Amino acid sequence: MGQEWDVSELLVGMHETEGVGWITIRRIVASGALEGANRRREKDWMEFALSAKQAAKLAERLSDEKIERAIDSRRRAGISVLTALDPDYPELLKHMDTPPWVLYGIGRLELLARPALAIVGTRVATAYGKRVAEELAASCAAEGIAVVSGMARGIDTAAHAGAIGKEGSTIAVLASPVDSPYPPENRGLYREIAERGLVLSESPAGTPLTKAHFYLRNRIIAGLCQGALVVEAGEGSGALITAQHTLNSNRDLYIVPGPITSPRSTGALKLLRDGAKPVLEAEDILCDYRRALREWRSSSGPGEELPESPGSPGSPEELEEEEACLYEILLEEPRTIDELSELSGMARGQLHTVLLHLQMKRRVQQLPGSMFAVI
């Protein structure tokens, strides 16, 4: 008889067994055979359409000795695991067609609880593209959004670089295992993200990197995020795969418009023509994230370190009486100038002055249509 292992650890063992794929694992999980899987024999696994060779490999990998060795190896490497059966598994990722059964991570797993934005694009980026990606990533990360990308050359690198300076609010999803950064020239960036952000991968340690892993990685980037921003992507760019996963999941797709004469922009411009949202400034993205950010902040425990940019808001007690009055009204829902005047009893001139003070204190923002809302 084998030891009693948590089903998550048994799931990791299945995921790491050569020849046992996503669909097979789904069958096993659905059948209830995951419970006590380390005590099952080879013939039991052959009932799930595994060959004798595959069944033997699975039985061996689920032995107590192999499980203990795998746990020890991850512990020594500083690698955490998160499975689709764990309560902290990202909710958005569950809604993908084939969510990863297992994610390996190095760094701050708590970043997965934040609202997230994918920023992707060409590896052969222009100076303009890299600058825009870095600046937009920095602005979004400063507001608490986790910027997700693939740590590839070009736009990915720029996005991570912009976000990492804002309290480490970035997640790198690798095609390679988490302990084998790719490309090699990004080792410095990798170390910084592992220390201040989060590095993720679906691939177990020691998995040889193939072209297919890049396509599989792109679905995870899209799956983790409420939306995706494409900055420069030509025809055939891997960023378009991430964009397609985003559209398939009915999530927001944003595009930085580029020159119609540039081959680095042709793929992105077609997405823009087909209805993606153009981005001219960070607010074009942030306006869609305000509610999610408020919900995240309200649910964050005392141990969560919230990223704040200079001049970020303090507590309501720091506001003047008139400012606090308007702020409390806007906490309920966005309001127009007329509504604020009626509800607060303030004259228009006084109202504009108080709203200006609230905007300078980064407590309130103006929306299209003369609407005002809490940041």
- CA-based angle 154:158:161, to the nearest 5? 140
Strand partners, 252: 227
Element holding 245 (H helix, E strand): helix 238-248
Residues 6+ apart with CB under 8 A from 231: 119, 120, 121, 125, 129, 132, 133, 136, 155, 159, 256, 268
What pLDDT, on the 0 to 100 scale, is given for residue 328? 86
Peptide bond between residue 183 and the one before it cis (omega within 30 degrees of 0): yes
- The pLDDT value given to residue 355: 82
Q: Residue 142 in contact with residue 134, Cβ under 8 Å?
A: no
Q: Average pLDDT of the chain? A: 89
Is the pLDDT score of 316 beyond 50? no
Q: What tens digit of pLDDT does each residue of 132-162 get?
A: 999 999 999 999 999 999 999 999 999 999 9
Give the model's confidence band at 121: pLDDT under 50 very low, under 70 low, under 90 confident, else very high: very high
Q: Stretch 163-188: mean pLDDT, rounded?
A: 90
Q: Token pair of 186, please?
A: 């990004």
CA distance 213 to 136: 27
Distance CA 178, CA 156 (A): 17
The amino acid at residue 50 is: L
Query: What residue has token string 């922009």?
Result: 265
Does the pLDDT value for residue 309 go beyond 50? no
Confidence of residue 370 (pLDDT cuts 50, 70, 90): low
What gap in Å lies between CA 295 and CA 189, rounded to an integer?
30
**In angstroms, rounded to a whole number, what is the distance separating the alpha carbons of residues 106 and 225?**
19
Tens digits of per-residue pLDDT, 52-91? 999 999 999 999 999 999 999 999 999 999 999 999 999 9
Q: Cα separation of 291 and 302, whole Å?
A: 20
The string over 298-321, giving b where at least 16 C-beta atoms fall within 10 Å of a residue's C-beta and e elsewhere, is eeeeeeeeebeeeeebeeeeebee
Q: Under DSSP, is residue 112 helix (H, G, I), strand (E, B) or coil? A: helix
Tell me the average pLDDT across 323-338.
86
The closest of 62, 66, 84 to 74, measured between CA atoms, is 66
The answer to whether residue 369 scores a pLDDT higher than 80 is no
pLDDT of residue 1: 52
DSSP assignment letter at 347: -
Question: Which of the pair, 219 or 373, is modelled with greater confidence?
Answer: 219
Residue linked to tokens 């087909």: 274
Cα separation, 183 vs 187, in Å, equals 8
Residue 346 has pLDDT above 50, yes or no: yes
Q: Can you tell me the distance from the alpha carbon of 232 to that of 88, in angstroms, rounded to the nearest whole number? A: 33
Question: CA-CA distance, 131 to 244, in Å (whole number)?
Answer: 24
Buried b (16+ CB within 10 A) or exposed e, 279-295: beebeebbebbbeebbe
pLDDT-derived band at 245 (thresholds 50, 70, 90) equals: very high
- For 230, the enclosing helix (H) or strand (E) is strand 227-231
Question: What are 274-308's pLDDT values in tens digits?
Answer: 999 999 999 999 999 999 999 988 887 544 554 44
More confident residue, 271 or 4: 271
Residue in this structure with the two tokens 């390996």, named with its chain if needed: 104
CA distance 352 to 369: 15
First to last CA, the chain: 57
Percent of the chain with pLDDT over 90: 71
